[in-house]
Structure 1
Amino acid sequence: MKKIAMFALVSALLAGTAHAQDKVTITVAAFPSLDTSIKAVLPAWNKLHPNITIKLVAQEFADHHNAMTTALATGQGLPDVMAVEIGYVGKFAEGKGLEDLNKAPYNAEQYKKLFTPFTVAQATSADKRFIAMPTDIGPGTLLYRKDVLDKAGVDPAQLNKSWESYLAAGKVIKAKTGASLINTAQSIYGVVSRTNLKAGEGIYFDSKNNLLVGPDNARFLRAFTLAKQVRTEGLDAKIGEWSNEWYDAFKKGTVASQFSGAWLTGSLESYMAPDTKGLWRVENLPEGGYASWGGSFYAIPTAAKNKQWAWEFIKFMTMDKSQQLAAFTINGAFPALLTAQNDNIFSQGVPFLGNQKARVLWRDAARKTQPIDVNKYDSVADQIVNTELTNVLEQGKDIKQALTDARTQILRRAR
């Protein structure tokens, strides 16, 4: 009996040691409000994989991407799973520091059909590597304050019939309520520059890496011209996004409309202006435009230590309908997964938007949004063009000269 008892004890100790050895911690680096989505699904993950601990490292948006840029460059401080916002995907893709998910053992080609088509293109590099799995998308939308428009006697249909109609409505709103049409004229540029792109075009470069920015490009010329008109006519509040003044304008209704991704509704409800519930509505972008406005992805660094479990976690976050819907419900992260978009929740009214069935509108917009090629110099071009736009708006610089100078600077940086 003693031998049996001793054998049982040794077996138990060995089993315990083996169990302990099976325990793994994977590090996931993310940013707000993606970190909220991850925290929300951790109980479900822990139940499914009790020995695989998720260590979440969250930093503010800019700090996170700066840290990941440094980590990829040095090979130090890399997580197992890296969250990447669409604006950085092209830059990170060209650096070759992320796994190509098309290849074994990931074999992600078979999963691409599960997602909204344009987001797959966003995560594909120029040499056709698939460097990140999409988790949420940002169908472009126009949010407006219904109470402000009612007070001004403006029909919401005026806001998206045409850009000229949008600006005309802004004049009436300003005259009758004192509210600005938009937070900043740069927002107009943001919409016009990314909508109605031709096949094979990115925002700044075409599929052959030819730069599109310049005084002869009708899209950029119109974007700058409309932004200048908004500023000249005093229709914007000159308030930058993600500032306390921006949040305050939402709360007080001193700005009548805002262009953004569908996710902004969740941000308004959760922390920006929760007391404005029922006052907001949404519409499609002006002139039948459709655009991607933000979006998040998960990537695996080539130097990651726990790639197997990193991949399992990514699949859990991106291809599990329950987790996609959990993130959507909690913070408005619009699911990239098509089956999640077909859930009954999409046919329900959104209380924050006065029970408007906005999710159907966003879903339709997402499916009409065309894929846009990404380029490793997108972030450089974006910074330069926006600096030149600021020169136009604040210093009166000639629009064609600004676009000429922007082109010259981008070409110099790209070389």
Structure 2
Amino acid sequence: MTIRRWAAALLAAWGVALAMPQALAQPAPITLTVATFPDLDRSAKAALAQWAKERPDVQVKIASLQYADHHTAMTTVLATGSGVPDVMALDFRFIAKFTESGGLTDLSQPPFNGLQLKSLFVPFAFAQGINSHGALAAIPTDIGPGTLLYRKDLLDRAGVSEAELTASWESYIAAGRRIKAATGAYLLADAADVRDILIRSGVQPGEGLYFDDAGKVLVDSPRFVRAFEIGRAVRLGRLDAKAVAWSNEWTAGFKHDRIATQMMGAWLAGHLKNWLAPHSAGQWRSALLPGGQVASYGGSFYAIPRLASHKQAAWDFIRFLTTRKDVQLNSLKVMDAFPALLAAQDDPMMDEPLPFLGGQRARLLWRDIARQVPPIPVNRNDSMATDVIRSEFEQVVSEGKDIRQALADARRLLERRTRR
């Protein structure tokens, strides 16, 4: 080997030797596990391409289970500390149970300082992620402004106007009688829908849905009496299809044009368009709830388990999903998830006509509703109280149980269970 060739080989070897420590010093991409559920999983998946461009150092694995299975699994995960994801999606119905569990990271503390994000979100949604100890346990991503979706074609056949349908709960029921007589369609799927909306309406300062801020049970208050009375009137008038939400009978009611109205979160319009009743495009409209009441119906959140392995990257991903206007608007396009982020609500996209709703600019209505909903504190026993109230209501409408007796029984049962 000549001296020149030997020197070149030596220099090449030195180059490899010098490069090796640098290569070894570069950390391998980490993988975040995001535990979620349908249809929220579609929102996260839709954001992955953009995330990969901006953060190639953090890969994301979406682990999705059905709604009930997901929340059951996450309860077990937090209790056992086994199989803990980095990011945990939570639905509104379970938010208090999880935020009060002690198993989630307090995002108000350094290095997250999540309370600085408060002004970015609809106030009532951000408040729902704060537990009774003041810890910020979850960040909202989408919300469900309560609305009355109705079939304009069925109302037209019955000679019923939107104003008559929504003026009051009494006029709503009267309109339902005319709609059923003229078209054969039920006013709504389940009398329980009326109960749920009325329970969420007229909540006073210091009150949650079922408990006040001191933990006192509220289920025998006038708010619940009225909710049960109006719900019972719907059932006695044979105006509901007795179809429990998300059951086969419920979906069939929409597919076969047997349901004239549905009170739920605004996100239901997306479900109607995409899979419940795509054939009815152009026939639906969105309106205020009867009596002009405002209410929130559901919503989704992201949290970081206390035992998560990659908390900083998890926090970065949560902020990416929840505080980025472009990501939130993309979620609105993909799955009709109404954004919790105020900046996204102020985008011109809110003014777009929605073909499924006959060209109605319904997002403007939903935005107005969302900004009127007062913050309502959540309680870790809300999910249990929901089950108790549903059981007592069913006894009222199906077995004729006295309303005040039913609510008194519900109060005693909840007081006994929450004392444990």
Counterpart Cα distance in 2 of 1:210 and 1:327:
38
From 5, 9, 20, the counterpart of 2:16: 9
Counterpart Cα distance in 2 of 1:363 and 1:42:
27
Counterpart Cα distance in 1 of 2:269 and 2:14:
62
Spell out the pairing of 1:73-152 with structure 2 (5 A cutoff).
73-152=79-158
> What does the per-residue CA deviation read over 1:38-72, in whole Å, with 9 as the maximum and x for residues that have no partner?
11110000111112110100011000000001111
Q: Which residue of 1 aligns with 2:291?
A: 287
> What does the per-residue CA deviation read over 1:195-234, in whole Å, with 9 as the maximum and x for residues that have no partner?
11111111111112111111xx111001111111111110
From 310, 317, 320, the counterpart of 1:316: 320
Counterpart Cα distance in 1 of 2:78 and 2:248:
32
From 194, 200, 203, the counterpart of 2:209: 203
Q: Which residue of 2 aligns with 1:230?
A: 234
Deviation at 1:13, TM superposition (A): 4.2
Counterpart Cα distance in 2 of 1:265 and 1:197:
26
> What does the per-residue CA deviation read over 1:367-392, in whole Å, with 9 as the maximum and x for residues that have no partner?
00000010111111111011000111
Counterpart Cα distance in 1 of 2:14 and 2:224:
78
Deviation at 1:17, TM superposition (A): 3.6
Counterpart Cα distance in 1 of 2:378 and 2:16:
60
Q: Which residue of 1 aligns with 2:345?
A: 341
Counterpart Cα distance in 2 of 1:328 and 1:122:
21
Q: CA, structure 1 residues 361+18, in 2 after alignment: closer, same or farther (shift >3 Å)?
A: same
Spell out the pairing of 1:356-375 with structure 2 (5 A cutoff).
356-375=360-379
- 1:103 is matched by which residue type in structure 2? Q
> What does the per-residue CA deviation read over 1:229-269, in whole Å, with 9 as the maximum and x for residues that have no partner?
11111000000111222222112210100011111111111
Q: Which residue of 2 aligns with 1:395?
A: 399
Counterpart Cα distance in 2 of 1:11 and 1:349:
61
> What does the per-residue CA deviation read over 1:166-222, in whole Å, with 9 as the maximum and x for residues that have no partner?
0000000011100000101100100111111111111111112111111xx111001
Tell me if 1:351 matches 2:358: no
Percent identical among aligned pairs is 49
Deviation at 1:22, TM superposition (A): 2.9
Q: Which residue of 1 aligns with 2:267?
A: 263
From 225, 237, 246, the counterpart of 1:242: 246
- Tell which structure's C-alpha radius of gyration is larger: 2
- 1:3 is matched by which residue type in structure 2? L
Deviation at 1:152, TM superposition (A): 1.1
For this pair of structures, how many residues does the alignment match?
412
TM-score (norm 1): 0.97
Counterpart Cα distance in 1 of 2:166 and 2:349:
26
Deviation at 1:14, TM superposition (A): 4.0
Runs of 4+ in structure 1 off by over 2 angstroms are 7-19
Counterpart Cα distance in 2 of 1:292 and 1:46:
34
Q: CA, structure 1 residues 271+16, in 2 after alignment: closer, same or farther (shift >3 Å)?
A: farther
- 1:302 is matched by which residue type in structure 2? R
Q: Which residue of 2 aligns with 1:174?
A: 180
- 2:401 is matched by which residue type in structure 1? K
Spell out the pairing of 1:20-99 with structure 2 (5 A cutoff).
21-99=27-105
Q: Which residue of 2 aligns with 1:306?
A: 310
Deviation at 1:304, TM superposition (A): 0.3
Aligned with 2:389: secondary structure?
helix
Cα RMSD of the aligned pairs, angstroms, is 1.1
Counterpart Cα distance in 1 of 2:10 and 2:345:
61
Aligned with 2:132: secondary structure?
coil
Q: Which residue of 2 aligns with 1:221?
A: 225
> What does the per-residue CA deviation read over 1:280-331, in whole Å, with 9 as the maximum and x for residues that have no partner?
1000111121111010000000000010100000000001100000001111
Counterpart Cα distance in 2 of 1:157 and 1:18:
68
- 1:297 is matched by which residue type in structure 2? F
> What does the per-residue CA deviation read over 1:10-40, in whole Å, with 9 as the maximum and x for residues that have no partner?
3444444444x33100100001111000111
* Structure 2 unmatched ranges of 5 or more: 1-7
Counterpart Cα distance in 2 of 1:15 and 1:355:
58
Aligned with 2:85: secondary structure?
coil
Tell me if 1:183 matches 2:189: yes
Q: CA, structure 1 residues 395+17, in 2 after alignment: closer, same or farther (shift >3 Å)?
A: same
- 1:93 is matched by which residue type in structure 2? T
Counterpart Cα distance in 1 of 2:363 and 2:102:
36
* Structure 1 unmatched ranges of 5 or more: none
Indicate the larger mover: 205-214 or 331-340. Answer: 205-214
TM-score (norm 2): 0.96
Aligned with 2:88: secondary structure?
strand
Q: CA, structure 1 residues 275+9, in 2 after alignment: closer, same or farther (shift >3 Å)?
A: farther
> What does the per-residue CA deviation read over 1:56-94, in whole Å, with 9 as the maximum and x for residues that have no partner?
000110000000011111111110000011111111111
Counterpart Cα distance in 2 of 1:8 and 1:326:
46
Aligned with 2:210: secondary structure?
coil
> What does the per-residue CA deviation read over 1:80-135, in whole Å, with 9 as the maximum and x for residues that have no partner?
00001111111111111001111011001111100000011111111111100110
